[in-house]
C-alpha cells in the first residue's frame, strides 16, 4: 500500500535492478527473400542469425551450452517438395563467443542440408543458458580464445553505435540475395539514419 501511495504522488519506486528476467532461450531466424537451394547462401544467412542471437545472449550477460539449427522449405506449399529438420548440438563449453557458436551451427547445418530442395528458412536456437559467473569452473573444458570477451564487446559497441551489421562475423555480404525483400520491412528509425522520418516546416 505504501508503494502504491508513493507512486500516486509521483514518486518512482522502481529499483534500478528491476527489469525483465533474462530469457531462457534465444532464437533468431527469418524467411528468406527468395528460396535457396544452394548451401553457401544458407550458410551466410545462418551466420547472420547466429550473430544476432549471440548479441542478444551477451546483452543479458548469459552463456549458452546447447544450440539447435533448423532448416525448412515452405511447408504450406503442397505442390513443391517439402522438407524440415533440426539438429541439436552440445557445445564443448558454455560460451557467448559468436565465432564458437557459429562454427558448431555451420556443422549442424551441414548435417541437415539436402541438395535440391527450395529452402525458405533457417534458424538458430540458443539453449541451456546460464548467467555469466554462475557455472562452476570446468578444468577439462576448452579455454576461451584469448581476448574473446574484449573482441565481442567491441563488436557489440560498434554495431550499437553505427547500426546493426556494421561489423559482421563470417562471410555475410552487405546486400545478400537471401535477405527478406526491403519492401516487406518496416522502417528502422532508431537504428538507421537514412530511414529517419522527414519533417517539413
Written as tens digits, the pLDDT of the chain (201 aa) is 666 666 666 665 655 456 678 899 999 999 999 999 999 999 999 999 999 999 999 999 999 999 999 999 998 888 889 999 999 999 999 999 999 999 999 999 999 999 999 999 999 999 999 998 776 666 666 777 888 889 999 999 998 888 877 887 767 877 888 887 655 445 545 554 444 555 454
Total number of domains in the chain: 1
Contacts of 40 (CB under 8 A, 6+ apart): none
Instruction: Go through 75-84 and write b for each residue having 16 or more CB atoms within 10 A of its CB, e for each that does not.
Output: eeeeeeeebe
**C-alpha cell recorded at residue 90:** 552440445
Cβ count within 10 A of residue 134: 11
Residue 181 domain-assigned (yes or no): no
pTM of the model: 0.77
For residue 168, which of 55, 58, 51, 59 has the smallest C-alpha distance? Answer: 51
Residue 80 domain-assigned (yes or no): yes
Residue 81 domain-assigned (yes or no): yes
Residue 86 domain-assigned (yes or no): yes
Amino acid at each position: 500500500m505504501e508503494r502504491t501511495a508513493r507512486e500516486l504522488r509521483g514518486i518512482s519506486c522502481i529499483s534500478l535492478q528491476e527489469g525483465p528476467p533474462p530469457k531462457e532461450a534465444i532464437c533468431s531466424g527469418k524467411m528468406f527473400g527468395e528460396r535457396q537451394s544452394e548451401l553457401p547462401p544458407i550458410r551466410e544467412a545462418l551466420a547472420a542469425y547466429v550473430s544476432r542471437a549471440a548479441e542478444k545472449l551477451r546483452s543479458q550477460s548469459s552463456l549458452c551450452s546447447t544450440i539447435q539449427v533448423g532448416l525448412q522449405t515452405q511447408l504450406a506449399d503442397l505442390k513443391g517438395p517439402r522438407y524440415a529438420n533440426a539438429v541439436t548440438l552440445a557445445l564443448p563449453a558454455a560460451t557467448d563467443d559468436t565465432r564458437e557458436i557459429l562454427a558448431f551451427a555451420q556443422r549442424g547445418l551441414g548435417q541437415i542440408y539436402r541438395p535440391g530442395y527450395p529452402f525458405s528458412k533457417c534458424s538458430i536456437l540458443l539453449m541451456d543458458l546460464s548467467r555469466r559467473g554462475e557455472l562452476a569452473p570446468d578444468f577439462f573444458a576448452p579455454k576461451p580464445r584469448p581476448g574473446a570477451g574484449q573482441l565481442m564487446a567491441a563488436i557489440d559497441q560498434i554495431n550499437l553505435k553505427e547500426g546493426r551489421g556494421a561489423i559482421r562475423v563470417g562471410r555475410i555480404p552487405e546486400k545478400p540475395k537471401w535477405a527478406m525483400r526491403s519492401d516487406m520491412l518496416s522502417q528502422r528509425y532508431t537504428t538507421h539514419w537514412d530511414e529517419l522520418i522527414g519533417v517539413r516546416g
